[in-house]
């Protein structure tokens, strides 16, 4: 999220059974205790954007496109509708985006950037389990990140039905792989370009992607909503099982 989700973001949501209505029903839950809160704050219904082009126009277009894709499906959404929802001209839309599917790339990219920032803050004396527990605390997330994460997870859950979204999604997972190489290298005093580091990063990123997709699909389609703790446990187990290098436990930096 993931994302999926991680975002690592792996943060999971429950999707209301009738997303097309765009008026999600709230859950009486404390967001610090259960991530189902995200579902009610993912902004699927959306609001019409200002008729001005803001500095963050790319991400606003992505959010608008995501909401439309979730409401109508990719095939039934037009570029004109995305531009209208984002409050920009059609000419501006096609100046920045090559296809309508690519309009959601900034949203996936933002999730990857948020994940990267968290991963780079992983203390050397902390295990992967401790890191995830401390980092993925929804009470520390702002409302916009919760909404963005909800949109991303809803999109991930639609990948089987919307294969056109696989390109943007896989591009973001590639970014996660590159970040993991940096993190692994830093924790083990190796180079990010080291073959073993790149191999480990690739397997870990793939494991994280599978966790994102599996949990998001289960939460959105089948109402199988784990707690934040359960999600973190599953993610930590996947990272450990996929790891080919010993970076998951606390490490002692080598003297310089």
Per-residue pLDDT of 16-32, as tens digits, reads 333 333 333 232 333 43
What angle, 0 to 180 degrees and rounded to 10, lies between the N-to-C axes of helices 228-242 and 128-135? 150
Confidence of residue 138 (pLDDT cuts 50, 70, 90): confident
Alpha-carbon distance 55 to 34, whole Å?
Answer: 33
Confidence of residue 151 (pLDDT cuts 50, 70, 90): very high
Contact between 175 and 116 (Cβ < 8 Å):
yes
Q: Of 48-52, 130-134, 176-180, 206-210, where does mean pLDDT reach its minimum?
A: 48-52
Q: What is the mean pLDDT of residues 29-37?
A: 39
User: Mean of the pLDDT values across residues 118-138?
Assistant: 92
Would you give the DSSP letter of residue 10?
A: E
Between CA 148 and CA 106 the distance in angstroms is 11
Whether 37 and 146 have beta carbons less than 8 Å apart is answered as: yes
The whole-number average pLDDT for the span 112-138 is 92
Topology annotation, domain 6-242:
Tetracycline Repressor; domain 2 (1.10.357)
Per residue in 51-107, pLDDT tens?
334 557 899 999 999 999 999 999 999 999 999 999 999 999 999 999 999 999 999
Q: How far apart (Å, rounded) are the C-alpha atoms in residues 79 and 94? A: 8
* pLDDT confidence tier of residue 14, bands split at 50, 70 and 90: very low
Domain parsing of the chain, residue ranges? 6-242
User: Over the stretch 155-172, which tens digit does the pLDDT of each residue have?
Assistant: 999 999 999 999 999 999
Locate 12 and state its tokens. 């999971």
Of the pLDDT bands very low, low, confident and very high (cuts 50, 70, 90), residue 8 is very low
Q: For residues 184 and 115, what is the distance between their CA atoms, to the nearest angstrom? A: 15
CA–CA dist 3, 147 (Å, integer): 13
* φ, ψ for residue 205, nearest 5 deg: -60, -40
């Amino acid at each position: 999220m993931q994302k999926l989700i991680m975002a690592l973001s792996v943060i999971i949501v429950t999707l209301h059974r009738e997303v097309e209505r765009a008026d999600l029903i709230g859950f009486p839950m404390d967001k610090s205790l259960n991530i189902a809160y995200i579902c009610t704050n993912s902004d699927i219904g959306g609001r019409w954007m200002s008729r001005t082009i803001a500095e963050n126009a790319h991400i606003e277009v992505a959010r608008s496109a995501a909401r439309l894709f979730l409401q109508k499906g990719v095939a039934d959404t037009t570029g004109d509708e995305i531009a209208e929802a984002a409050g920009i001209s059609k000419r501006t839309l096609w100046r920045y985006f090559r296809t309508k599917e690519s309009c959601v790339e900034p949203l996936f990219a933002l999730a990857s950037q948020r994940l990267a920032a968290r991963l780079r803050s992983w203390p050397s004396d902390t295990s992967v389990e401790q890191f995830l527990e401390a980092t993925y605390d929804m009470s520390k997330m702002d409302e916009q990140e919760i909404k963005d994460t909800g949109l991303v997870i809803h999109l991930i859950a639609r990948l089987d039905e919307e294969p056109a979204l696989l390109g943007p999604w896989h591009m973001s997972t590639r970014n996660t792989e590159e970040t993991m190489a940096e993190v692994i290298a830093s924790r083990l005093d190796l180079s990010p370009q080291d073959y073993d580091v790149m191999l480990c990063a690739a397997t870990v990123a793939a494991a994280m992607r599978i966790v994102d997709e599996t949990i998001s699909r289960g939460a959105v389609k089948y109402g199988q909503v784990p707690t934040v703790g359960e999600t973190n446990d599953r993610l930590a187990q996947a990272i450990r099982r996929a790891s080919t290098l010993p970076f998951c436990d606390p490490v002692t930096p080598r003297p310089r």
